[in-house]
Structure 1
Amino acid sequence: MSAPDLEAVLAWHEALNAGDAERLAALSHPDVELGGPRGPAMGRQVLKDWVGRANIRLEPLRSFRGGRTVVVEEEATWRDADTGEKTGGATVATVFRVRDGLVAAVVRHDDLEDALRAAGLEESDRVGQG
């Protein structure tokens, strides 16, 4: 995987954490695949709608990569839309697939072990120092 693919995933996190749904959509493939606790969905509009209601921040902790796949372990924080107060938090991991410089799939897992297994990656595929 090239550094630009990892950079695309990190830019995706920046847009999400800024609450910038338009930028997040622009960094994502038109048919972006989304997966998580509520099941699968597809498309930029679904992604934008999710950003508007999820009130989530995903702070990258560790990254792993192989092929066009990046797994990021993240500290997730949810906040109340009205008060901004923290309503929950957890360490999760997300499998990203990058195509043509855009995030083409985003599948959240409850933990790093599950995400690495789903992506066919191992601890030895870790990149960076975080």
Structure 2
Amino acid sequence: MSTSEIATVLAWHDALAAGDLATLEQLSSDDIEVAGPDGAGQGHQALRQWAASAQVTAEIGRLYVHDGVVVAELAPAGAAATRAAAFRVVHDHVTAVFAHDSLEAALAATDLTEADRAD
């Protein structure tokens, strides 16, 4: 487990939630890939557009990490259902983030398991 990868994802999520695009870009590679149910894009321009439309109200729950991949469970405030995001982190920069409808879907997409859970 890499504390650095988890710290990068937590800082990235905090910057997104705060609408701090400058920090979000600093924590992201120049060619970052962002994808979700509404489409995908690449680069800081796509990240800015995606972040501007994102309404982040979710708290991070369980975290899973293995070999540069971090899956974060996202628990929206007041909602029973959780979502998740899968991140690729290289040299303390997020190079990709993919939104998933569930934690199970994110784990399946990344081949992570309960054995990769960070406690």
Does 2:32 align with 1:36? no
Which of the pair has more CA radius of gyration? 1
Amino acid at match of 1:72: A
Structure 2 gap segments, 5+ residues each? none
* Count of paired positions: 119
Label 1:125 to 1:9 Cα distance change in 2 as closer, same or farther (>3 A).
Answer: same
Q: State the TM-score, normalized to the length of structure 1.
A: 0.83
Aligned residue runs from structure 1 range 96-115, under 5 A: 96-115=87-106
Hey, what's the Cα distance between the residues in 2 that align with 1:89 and 1:23?
A: 30
Alignment of 1:48-87 (within 5 A): 48-76=48-76
Return structure 1 stretches of 4+ with deviation > 2 angstroms. 53-58
- Percent identity between the two aligned chains: 42
Q: Is the 8 A contact 1:13 1:59 kept in 2?
A: no
In structure 2, the residue matched to 1:47 is 47
> What TM-score comes out, normalization by structure 2 length?
0.90
Unaligned ranges ≥5, structure 1: 78-87
